[in-house]
Amino acid sequence: MALYAIISKDVEDSLEKRIATRPAHIKRLQELQDAGRLVLAGPHPAVDGDTAGEAGFTGSLIVAEFNDLEAAQQWADNDPYNDAGVYAQVTVKPFKKVFPQ
């Protein structure tokens, strides 16, 4: 197993689509966490602050363990946010964790 970063960029005005699809998206992340493979996950708020509010989000970052790049890409391709049209672009690449040790 190795770490991979899944970096997603949202389409404009993605908030309604995100809200509607969030339970299915969170379910998949919970499965990764339950398997001990999730390092971190979360959205990029469109504004600086604790809550994005109506401004919504500009994308997401997930760092998790997968067998290889192909498995990470396949997992990312099957994200419910893709099917719902939340993401405009998704990049998957190897990630090397240095800190914290």
Q: Could you report the per-residue pLDDT of 13-35, keeping only the tens digit for each?
A: 999 999 999 999 999 999 999 99
Q: Could you report the per-residue pLDDT of 33-58, keeping only the tens digit for each?
A: 999 999 999 999 999 977 778 889 99
Mean pLDDT of 2-6: 98
Which pTM value belongs to this model? 0.94
Torsion 50-51-52-54 (CA) sign: negative
Q: Does an H or E element contain 65, and which?
A: strand 57-66
